[in-house]
Amino acid sequence: MTTSPIRPPRRRGRSVRRNLALAAVVTATLCTCVPGATAAGQHDDRSRLRLQLQRDADAITALGVTGVQARLVTSDGRNLTAAGGVADLTSRRPVPRDGYFRMASVTKTFVATVALQLAGDRRLSLDDPVERWLPGVVSGNGNDGRAITIRQLLQHTNGIHDDYPDYTSAQDFRQHRYDSYTAEQTVARAMRHSPDFEPDEDWSYGNTGYVLLGMIIERVTGHPWHEEVRDRIVRPLGLDHTFWPGTSPTLPQPHAETYQRFKAGEPLVDVTEQVGSGTNGEAGLVSTTADLNRFFRALLGGRLLPPAQLAQMTRTVQVSEKFERFMPGARDGLGLFSRPLSCGGEYWGHEGGDSGWITATGVTADGRRSVTVSLSGVRADSEADVLRVAQAENKLVDDALCTTADTDHQQR
C-alpha cells in the first residue's frame, strides 16, 4: 500500500478510549471576524451570538475539560470563535482559536463522500457486495463479504465486530504509542470474531466497516483513500490545514495538548504525541475548525455530491438506544448523522473522539450555517462523565445553530 501522506502546511512557529469514542459518536479569548460592521442591530446580534458561544464553551471547561475551541459560521459568512481553558497544563497558555487537532471519526464523513462520488461516477455501486472488491477479506467465523454491501459498511448495519488495540495503563501507552496498524491487520483482528448481528438486522456504530471502505476506495481507484480525499475534497475546497499525517505522531503548531486519565484517581497523562490505532479511513485526518466548517457547508450545500448521491447520504436509519443516549434524536445516514434542533428542523454532522480529543460538528440542512467544536483533555473516567460533556457539547452546537437561525430571521 502506498503511504505518501497529505503533507501538512508550513505554519508559524482502553476503556477510557472506548468511552471517548462512545461520546463522540457523541479563562478564554473570543474573536469576531466581520467585514464591514454596520448597524447597531447587527452589532447587538453579533454580541448575543458571541456571548452565547463563550458561555457554552466555558460550561464545557467547567466540567474539567482542559481546553475548548469553537467556531460558528453564520449564513452571511461571519466567523465567531470562542476558546476556553488552557492549551497545556504546564505553561497554561491559552487555547489557540485556529489550532490543529485530530478529528478522529469525523474522518468517516470524508471517506463516505469519496465513496458516494465514486458511486456517482458509476465506478462502484452502493449495493455491491464487499466480496466483489475485496475477495476473501471478509470471511471466517461467520463473516461473509458476499452478504455485506458497501451501503451497509457506510451505515453501520453490517454487523462486523470491532476489535481494536486499547491502552490499559499509562505504562502501556508509553510503550505502544508509536505502534501503527495496517488496514489488513485491523480487519484480520475483526475476522477472529463472529459478527455481532446479521447484515441489516440491527445498527451498531463501528470502525472496521470504514477501514474496509478505505480498502475498497484503493481497489477501485488505485490510490490510497487519503490521496482520494486530498484530490477530491481537500484541494478543490482549499482546505489548506487538513491532512493525513500517516504514522507521524506529532501535530503542527499551533495546537492544544490533550490529556487522558487511564484509571480513576491517577494523574492525567499527556497523550498528544502518538500514532494511534485509527489511521485507515475510520479516523486519521488532522484539521481545524475553519476547515471542517468549510467542508460541511460545501457538502450540505451540494458542492461535493450530485443531488442523487446527497439524497442517498441523507437517507437515515434509527441508531441504537445506547448511542442515542449521547446523541438524542440522532439518525444515521451514510457517514453523516442528523439531529433535531430545539428551534425546529434538523442539522447534520459527525462526531469524533479518542485519547482525550472530542470533535463535534453541525451544519444546517441548506449548508449555510455551521459550527465546529474541538475539546482537548476530556476526562472520561466513566460513561457518566462523558455523558455530561456530551450534553454540554450538544448544547453548544444547538445554541449556535438556533441562535444564528433566529438572528438571520430578524435581519431579513
Taking CA atoms, 387 is separated from 14, 280, 323, in Å, by 18, 28, 11
How buried is 14 (Cβ within 10 angstroms: 0-12 exposed, 13-18 middle, 19+ buried)?
buried
Taking only the tens place, the pLDDT of each residue in 142-173 is 999 999 999 999 999 999 999 988 888 999 99
Asked if the structure places residue 7 within a domain, the reply is no
The backbone torsions φ and ψ at residue 100, rounded to the nearest 5 degrees and listed phi first, read -75, 155
3-class secondary structure, 393: helix
Would 5 be classed as within a structural domain?
A: no
Any idea which residues carry the catalytic annotation? 105
Q: For residue 104, give the DSSP letter.
A: G
- Identity at 220, one-letter amino acid code: V
**H or E element, residue 385:** helix 383-411
Residue holding cell 451544519?
363
Asked whether residue 375 is assigned to any structural domain, the reply reads yes
The cell numbers describing 232, all together, are 477530491
State the DSSP string of 216-277: HHHHHHSS-HHHHHIIIIIHHHT-TT-B--TT----PSSB---EE-SSTTSPPEE--S---S
Residue 204 lies in a domain: yes
> Is residue 1, in this structure, part of any structural domain at all?
no
- Cα Rg of the chain, angstroms: 20
pTM, to two decimals: 0.89
pLDDT for the residue 41: 52
Cis peptide before 254 (omega within 30 of 0): yes
For 36, which DSSP code? Answer: T
pLDDT digits 0-9 by tens, 304-328 = 999 999 999 999 999 999 899 889 9
> Residue 167: what pLDDT?
87
Residue 98 neighbours by CB distance under 10 Å: 17
Cell triple for 25? 459518536
Distance CA 277, CA 284 (A): 9
* Predicted local distance difference test score (pLDDT) of residue 39: 46
Indicate whether 2 belongs to any domain: no
Name the residue type at position 177.
R
Q: Residue 379: what pLDDT? A: 85
In this predicted structure, what is the pLDDT of residue 32?
A: 36
pLDDT at 171: 94
Q: Range of 178's domain?
A: 15-411
pLDDT along the chain (412 residues), means of 10: 41 47 44 41 74 97 97 94 97 97 97 98 98 98 98 98 90 94 96 98 97 98 98 98 96 97 91 91 97 98 98 97 91 98 97 92 97 94 88 96 58 34
pLDDT of residue 371: 98
Amino acid (1-letter code) at residue 50: R
Give the count of domains, the chain: 1
Q: Which long-range contacts (CB under 8 A, 24 or more apart) does 172-180 make?
A: 173/260, 173/262, 173/269, 173/271, 173/274, 177/249, 177/271, 177/273, 177/274, 177/275, 178/247, 178/249, 178/274, 178/275, 179/275, 179/277, 180/247, 180/275, 180/279
Instruction: Report the alpha-carbon distance of residue 216 to residue 213 in Å, rounded.
Output: 5
CA triple 72-75-79, angle to 5 deg: 35
b (16+ CB within 10 A) / e for 101-138:
bbbbbbbbbbbbbbbbbbbbeeebebeebbbebbeebb
| CATH number, domain with residue 162 | 3.40.710.10
